[in-house]
């Protein structure tokens, strides 16, 4: 189990971005993490994968544990070796390298398993096998997302952290990516899925957390979240805003979110 | 016929010297790509390599001496990176570049103690002997430089294309955070880039010393790698090689023909010609011939 306990993260010594976040990702599950821009979702992922240092952030309180073992003080390479891989927001493929070279970089920590992992990735994403020797920068957005997923799988992860895999993709491709994530999960990889596309995330997740200004404000099984009135209104665009309404009620913007009241 | 022969001879001489500049330039570019810093310590590493060979050649023979010297200078570069550069990660590149200047001065002062006042021979088997190929007289050492550079460059390019660490270095050069997320240790990449650059500089230094030997002023030759990398583009390995060869050929052609064609430029214009070529290229293509982004000033 990947567990985050009372995590506080500060950037540049002053900006408190996470204020005591706790969450559990049980082995074998898909857990969704929802939240608006600036809520701290990406920061939480960085804290788990050890990439805070690059952005001058640090964990000031709390801990991140993998199977009970604290990892938040480790270097990124050590965390990858313990089986946690992150697919960063915006895909971040190495555009100048070929598809296969990108994948090999992903397998940097598991040099002996590269051949087997390449086969597994090409089986999951046949399009990558076709473009194997093509330059990664010329792939389409969806193919690049698959490459980013495949590259993370090259490290034989037990836990996969996905940061907005649906970003900038057409709806059909979002469904493809969603099905692929479900397939990866079936192969035994635990997934923590950060998304703005709440419908997509909750359709494959078993449990969901809602993060807002650095706090977890709601945490329920995915089915319940999908039925929750606030989630429907603010994340799924249903309910009050989408429904027919009289112009008498047009002051609906006065209705504010009050999670904790 | 004679003019063609003269042209070919100066071309071979230029390519020979140019391949040495290419090795040096490659070291600059490797460090630049990994750390975004231009390391001015390369001249010192070059001299260290040459002096180490000159001392060892009598004991172990020339070729073994070159191998030992390359390994030794690579280890020295590793130590310098660890002690002086790693603590400065995250600081402005300007600061790090100045530190490399300091490292260069310190190392050269120490090495000068091992050079002494006279010219030291590196004990190479070629000297100034020439061979005649199809009627063209070329110095053996220039052919050796060219051959050695080709072998070394092929090895370096194969390293970057096929090995795990080479790929990791390219990944880190392109996107450091993305490389970190794949489990690449960026510290390892910095260390490797310095070691590689040190080893390349040691080879270059040895070949600079062939024939003419090394003295306390030989290090200035390493600065010819600067026009070479600016010519080729700071962030392009292929550009560094092309730039190095271009600088070598330009220099040798100017040496051969400037006295006849433009005597008003005075003596020894060949020495500054690489910098003139660099200025012209900078005016036309400020990012170099093969570079992709704006050249960073340090």
Name the residue facing B183 among A88, A101, A108 (closest C-beta).
Answer: A108
DSSP string, A201-261: HHHH-SEEEEEETTEEEEEEEHHHHHH-HHHHHHTS--TTTTS---GGGGGGGG----S--
> CA-nearest residue of chain B to A112?
B164
Contact A80 B182 (CB under 8 A): yes
Query: Residue A176 domain-assigned?
Result: no
pLDDT value at B183 more than 70: yes
A57 and A163 assigned to the same domain: yes
- pLDDT of B209-267, one tens digit each? 988 889 888 898 898 899 999 888 888 889 999 999 999 999 999 988 888 888 888 88
pLDDT at B268: 83
B183 touches chain A (CB under 8 A): yes
Chain B hits for A82, Cβ within 8 Å: none
pLDDT at B292: 67
pLDDT at B295: 40
pLDDT at B297: 44
A66 and A163 assigned to the same domain: yes
pLDDT at B90: 79
Contact call for residues B258 and B270 (beta carbons, < 8 A): yes
Q: How close A49 gets to chain B, by Cα (Å)? A: 7
A149 and A135 assigned to the same domain: yes
Chain B hits for A101, Cβ within 8 Å: 167, 170
d(CA B7, CA B89): 48
pLDDT at B5: 85
Structural domain that includes position A129: 91-156
pLDDT value at A205 more than 60: yes
Contact A92 B177 (CB under 8 A): yes
Task: Give the CATH number of the domain where residue A216 resides.
Answer: 3.40.50.300
A8 and A126 assigned to the same domain: no
Contact A54 B176 (CB under 8 A): yes
B175 touches chain A (CB under 8 A): yes
Query: Residue A173 domain-assigned?
Result: no
If pLDDT is split at 50, 70 and 90, which confidence band does B296 have? very low
Domain extents for chain B? Answer: 2-223
Chain A hits for B181, Cβ within 8 Å: 49, 51, 76, 80, 85-86, 88, 92
Mean of pLDDT values over B104-117: 93
**Which of A134, A156, A178 is the C-terminal boundary of a domain?**
A156
A45 and A16 assigned to the same domain: yes
DSSP string, A162-177: EE-TTTT--HHHHHHH
Contact A51 B177 (CB under 8 A): yes
A100 and A205 assigned to the same domain: no
Which residue out of B178, B187, B236 would a mutagenesis test of the A interface target, given it has the greatest number of A Cβ atoms within 10 Å?
A: B178
Strands A159-163 vs A190-195: parallel, antiparallel or unpaired: parallel
A146 and A216 assigned to the same domain: no
A39 and A110 assigned to the same domain: no
How many residues comprise chain B? 298
A141 and A199 assigned to the same domain: no
If pLDDT is split at 50, 70 and 90, which confidence band does B158 have? very high
B158 touches chain A (CB under 8 A): no
Question: What is the torsional sign of CA B76, B81, B82, B85?
Answer: positive
Query: Residue A178 domain-assigned?
Result: no
pLDDT at A175: 93
Q: How close B162 gets to chain A, by Cα (Å)? A: 9
C-alpha to C-alpha distances, B42 to B97, B113, B152, B220, nearest whole angstrom: 12, 18, 17, 11
A73 and A197 assigned to the same domain: yes
pLDDT at A148: 96
Contact B170 A97 (CB under 8 A): yes
A3 and A68 assigned to the same domain: yes
Q: How close B279 gets to chain A, by Cα (Å)? A: 29
Across chain A, mean pLDDT equals 90
Name the residue facing B183 among A81, A92, A96 (closest C-beta).
Answer: A81
Query: Residue A179 domain-assigned?
Result: no
Mean of pLDDT values over B15-27: 94
pLDDT at B257: 87
Query: Residue A195 domain-assigned?
Result: yes
The count of domains in chain A is: 2
pLDDT at B293: 53
Query: Residue A245 domain-assigned?
Result: no
Contact B164 A77 (CB under 8 A): no
Query: Residue A174 domain-assigned?
Result: no
Name the residue facing A155 among B168, B180, B182 (closest C-beta).
Answer: B182
Contact A108 B176 (CB under 8 A): no
A101 and A75 assigned to the same domain: no
Contact call for residues A212 and A39 (beta carbons, < 8 A): yes
pLDDT at B129: 87
Residue A79 per-residue DSSP state: H
Mean of pLDDT values over A223-246: 73
If pLDDT is split at 50, 70 and 90, which confidence band does A37 have? confident
For residue A25 the two structure tokens come to: 């990702």
If pLDDT is split at 50, 70 and 90, which confidence band does A260 have? low
B285 touches chain A (CB under 8 A): no
């Amino acid at each position: 189990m990947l567990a985050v306990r009372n995590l506080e993260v500060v950037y540049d010594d002053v900006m408190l971005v996470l204020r005591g976040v706790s969450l559990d990702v049980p082995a074998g599950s898909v857990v969704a993490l929802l939240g608006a821009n600036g809520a701290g979702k990406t920061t939480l992922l960085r804290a788990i994968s050890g990439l805070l240092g690059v952005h001058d952030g640090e964990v000031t309180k709390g801990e991140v544990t993998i199977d009970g073992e604290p990892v938040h003080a480790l270097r990124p390479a050590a965390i990858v070796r313990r089986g946690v891989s992150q697919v960063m927001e915006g895909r971040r493929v190495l555009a100048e390298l070929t598809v296969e070279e990108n994948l090999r970089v992903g397998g940097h920590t598991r040099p002996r398993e590269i051949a087997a992992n390449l086969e597994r990735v090409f089986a999951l994403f046949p399009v990558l096998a076709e473009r194997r020797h093509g330059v990664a920068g010329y792939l389409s957005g969806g193919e690049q997302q698959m490459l980013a997923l495949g590259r993370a799988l090259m490290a034989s992860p037990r836990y996969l952290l996905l940061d907005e895999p649906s970003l900038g993709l057409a709806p059909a491709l979002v469904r493809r990516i969603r099905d692929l994530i479900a397939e990866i999960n079936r192969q035994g990889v635990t997934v923590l899925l950060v998304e703005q596309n709440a419908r997509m995330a909750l359709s494959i997740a078993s449990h969901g957390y809602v993060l807002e200004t650095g706090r977890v404000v709601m945490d329920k099984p995915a089915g319940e979240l999908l039925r929750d009135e606030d989630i429907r209104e603010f994340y799924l665009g249903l309910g009050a805003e989408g429904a027919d309404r009289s112009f008498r009620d047009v002051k609906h913007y006065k209705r504010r979110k009050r999670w904790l009241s | 016929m004679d003019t063609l022969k003269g042209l070919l001879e100066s071309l071979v001489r230029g390519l020979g010297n140019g391949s040495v500049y290419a090795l040096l330039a490659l070291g600059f570019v490797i460090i630049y790509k990994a750390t975004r810093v231009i390391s001015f310590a390369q001249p010192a590493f070059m001299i260290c390599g040459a002096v180490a060979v000159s001392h060892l050649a009598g004991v172990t023979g020339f070729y073994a001496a070159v191998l030992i010297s390359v390994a030794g200078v690579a280890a020295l570069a590793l130590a310098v990176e660890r002690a002086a550069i790693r603590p400065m990660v995250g600081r402005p590149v300007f600061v790090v570049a100045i530190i490399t200047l300091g490292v260069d001065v310190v190392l050269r002062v120490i090495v000068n103690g091992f050079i002494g006042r006279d010219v030291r021979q590196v004990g190479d088997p070629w000297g100034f002997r020439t061979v005649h190929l199809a009627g063209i007289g070329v110095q053996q050492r220039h052919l050796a430089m060219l051959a050695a550079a080709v072998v070394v460059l092929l090895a370096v390019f194969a390293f970057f294309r096929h090995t795990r660490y080479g790929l990791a270095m390219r990944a880190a050069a392109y996107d450091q955070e993305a490389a970190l997320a794949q489990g690449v240790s960026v510290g390892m990449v910095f260390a490797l880039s310095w070691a590689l650059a040190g080893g390349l500089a040691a080879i270059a230094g040895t070949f600079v010393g062939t024939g003419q030997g090394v003295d306390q002023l030989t290090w200035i030759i390493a600065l010819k790698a600067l026009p070479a990398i600016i010519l080729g583009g700071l962030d392009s390995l292929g550009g560094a090689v092309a730039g190095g060869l271009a600088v070598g050929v330009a220099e040798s052609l100017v040496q051969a023909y400037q006295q006849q064609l433009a005597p008003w430029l005075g003596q020894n214009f060949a020495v500054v010609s690489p910098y003139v070529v660099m200025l012209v290229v900078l005016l036309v293509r400020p990012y170099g011939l093969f570079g992709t982004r704006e050249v960073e000033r340090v």
